[in-house]
Amino acid sequence: MSTVRLDRFVCKSTELTKAEAIEQIHQGAVSVNGEAITSEATQVHENNEIILNGKKLIARRFRYILMHKAAGTICSNKDEVYPSLFNQIAIDRISELHIAGRLDADTTGMVLITDDGRWSFDITTPTKKCEKVYRVGLSRPIADDAAIKFSHGLSLQGEDKLTLPAVLEVISPKEVLLTITEGKFHQVKRMFAAIGNKVVSLHREKIGMVSLDVEAGQWRYLTAEEILSFTNGK
């Protein structure tokens, strides 16, 4: 582990929220290698002896999961009209996990799941330009000028800004691959609606450098190399 801020370390190794961790630090309840530290921004390392109210803190490891979302499941932490995809992940502390870029109930494919908010930010924030590749089934043959329009950016209803440049690869008249680097609400469906077409099937097959390689409803942990690939600007 590289160094982390003291408040982050305390959150990661206890059930405290960030505000509660900072309060404890300000009150002098936290010591690092025997010295009381009252600044939450202090950088610490997991090898340091960090004690909160007399108890040594042990950093928990973050978790990074790739899952193949099946149709008819939802990217929510609790069941709603459809069951939550988290029902298919039998590990501890499920409620601490979140999805880095949700899919609609009728969309299938790759989701990345973690309890590391800083890592998921790099995947979802458009400025990091993390590419998401969707296989899209269409109700009508794709228009000849669609790729040009997508590369220039589209105006979507209710949005002030154009969509970021997207890459369209035509597989067949009614099947395309679309690569985008942002994730507005129903973005892919709205992009095709904006050019007069309709999405009839939607499947995410790749995020960044990582391709979906497990069956529907299955999941696996990411490798160290895969985890790092999202923070190396790939």
Select the residue interacting with ligand URA from 123, 188, 210, 212 (CB under 6 A): 188
Select the residue interacting with ligand URA from 8, 68, 69, 189 (CB under 6 A): 189
Q: Which long-range contacts (CB under 8 A, 24 or more apart) does 29-38 make?
A: 29/53, 30/6, 32/6, 37/6
**Interaction between residue 120 and ligand URA (CB under 6 A):** no
Catalytic residue among 7, 79, 92, 104: 104
> Which residue, among 159, 141, 156, 161, has the nearest Cα to 190 in the 3D structure?
156
Instruction: Tell me whether residue 124 or residue 229 sits nearer to ligand URA (CB atom).
Output: 124
Is 104 a catalytic site residue? yes
To ligand URA, the closest distance from the beta carbon of 11 in angstroms equals 30
Burial (CB < 10 A; 0-12, 13-18, 19+), residue 176, is: buried
The count of chain residues that interact with ligand URA, using the rule CB under 6 A, is 8
**Interaction between residue 123 and ligand URA (CB under 6 A):** no
**Cα dihedral 119, 124, 126, 130 sign:** positive
**Interaction between residue 202 and ligand URA (CB under 6 A):** yes
Select the residue interacting with ligand URA from 24, 42, 187, 197 (CB under 6 A): 187
**Residues in contact with ligand URA, shown as a per-residue x/- string from 61 to 100 under the rule CB under 6 A:** ----------------------------------------
Please state, in angstroms and rounded to a whole number, the distance separating the CA atoms of residues 43 and 11: 14
**Residues in contact with ligand URA, shown as a per-residue x/- string from 95 to 114 under the rule CB under 6 A:** --------xx--x-------
* Residue ranges that bind ligand URA, judged by CB under 6 A: 103-104, 107, 186-189, 202
For the annotated catalytic residues, the residue numbers are: 104
